[in-house]
Structure 1
Amino acid sequence: MKEKPMMELGITTFLHTKPEHGGVSPAERLRQAIEEIRLADQVGLDVYAIGEHHRIDYASSSPAVILAAAAPATKRIRLSSAVTVLSSDDPVRVYQDFATLDCLSEGRAEIMAGRGSFVESFPLFGYDLNDYEELYEEKLELLLKVRTTEKVTWGGGHRPAIHNMGVYPRALQEPLPVWIGTGGSPESAVRAGTLGLPVIFSIIGGMPERFAPLVKLYKEAAKRAGHDPDMLQIATHSHGFIADSFETAAERYFPVMAGQMNQIGRERGWPPYTRDTFHAACDLHGALYVGDPEYVAEKILLAQKNLSLTRFLMYVDFSSLPHRELLRTIELLGTKVAPIVRKELARQ
């Protein structure tokens, strides 16, 4: 009989660079990433996940390569994408890359499959955005088939067919874990539940508890499809920063958050990011996990209660701050926040 999934804590990053705004070069950011993964492993965190991006301000176009570089230097931490932009990639190659990572890490690789929050990869790799939905559905189908079938026969509308061909190497984990990543689409929640796959919600604004209806949709879809919803994994990804006091954390992180949100906001027509917006997000019911370890632990426990979480991932990428502060956040998450969360959940 399978055991119910336990609560896990970890890190997500997109490897932000922006050297012209006080950040670092891509080469330096990649070296820093290896240091972060090693530290996250040492302080007892469960997951380190890198999101795929194809923009000038990120160094994360090849998450599997970066994670593979860190695999020999770590012992237990799970190594994941966050997310893999599956719609503009080849599912066979995605499987091969992460199966290779799985072998190098002795069974610690994972894939988060999503459509991505940016669309640069579509024209870069020759895909039409008009096929956005079809591409994802078709490629997810192929990825799930490849991970469970050594000899693959498959045909679709956006990729050449495969006729009884082997896909190698095979992952040590059978099957290789695949999560569905979503920013809050009901269709994605239902899809993940129907397939019986773990789901991760990206919550970067508003109140995390507003995602409760999506969790309900996910569980209902899983039950209709014959899966035990209590055995499935549910995760969230949110921005965060931890310091020894709430005041220090808020003062250090506001300029970083405002800079990132205003940059994206200019592209998407969002209003300017203000201190009022920031402080509302730092509230106990807000989407920013900023503060001292005790406060951040309290917020994680609240999210766990409201959303039935089995995993919480904190996005801690802020290149305009000294790297030692990023490392300190990772250290505090592992040594201070995680023990509080685990102890409280063990009592329930």
Structure 2
Amino acid sequence: MDTALTRLLDRYTLRFPVREPDRMVIGYVGQDVPVELLTAAGALPVRLAGLPGTDVAVGERYLGRGVDKPARSVLTRLLAGEYGRLDRLLVSRDCEASLRLFYAVRELRRVEPGLGLPETYLFDLLHLPHWTTTRYDRVRVGELVTVLEKWTGARLTPDAVAEAITLHDEHRGLLRAVSASRRGDPPRLTGVQALAAFGATLPVAEHNRLLRELLASDLDVHSGQRVFLTGSSHDSPEVYRTLEAAGYVVVGEDHDWGDLLAARPVGEPTIAALVERYQYNGPTAARASIRDRAEHTARAAVDCRADVVVSYVRRGDDAPPWDFPAQASALRARGIPAVLVDRQEYGDIDLEAVVSGVR
């Protein structure tokens, strides 16, 4: 049956764009890239994801083994042409792995042009809560506007930017409604299905249409122990799928491929408001204070009526374990147990560690 959910799952599984004539495809890495500007320029934004369980030796050759494995997987897939034809690539400086990926792609383009890697640009956004940070970020966004106009030949007029902001804010509102369906009692979506709704590779207007269809449809009821995920981000559904096959239901998360993606709207449809949306979006493990992360995780877990919080940490992702003691303390105060599952291989999770931690 060709439902909105099956189409979203299909576009999430494929993770590469269906090309449209005369429309530029711009791949991007990291949640700091203001996708509204790509839409305003007439381009299709495609967030690049890795692929667990595949050989990343090619990416390791240039990045080394110390870099978080999703970045090694993304570089491997770029070099293999697995994303289809990307016209350009934007990389945000949201973490060390993204920065290393940018430098690797830029240097490979210089020394091995025959590889066909896309022209790339580094977008540097800061997140401190200061007016000086806002001023810095406005300059960086202005530079990005100039780059996008050069790449696409379009003018990012105030009207074009306002229209794109309105469209993406609508998108975030629909995603929050999807999350509300997943948080219901009982849940009306699984964690895997919610990730697909968030991450399907589609033009935003078409994505919004499918999300509206999804929310209007007769969704199934799901049962199981309610899990909230924190720690490393998840650019693929493997960990969610493993947990849900074992009888859990992932009812929420605080990473930037899930609920954090939709948490903060822009509001006023202006570049100034757009800058502040991305400056203050979060909190993520790589950027926020331990106290902010703990309070955010605890509040979100309560909102999701979580039975347990699982802090899943990939090998090579060093930030999340620093958050866990404060998170566990804040959760205990609210009567919610927490378990740390550390040093996991990309896409895998030790279910026994989860079960033992919950007992």
TM-score range, shorter chain: 0.3 to 0.5
Length-normalised TM-score, structure 1:
0.32
TM-score with structure 2 length normalisation?
0.31
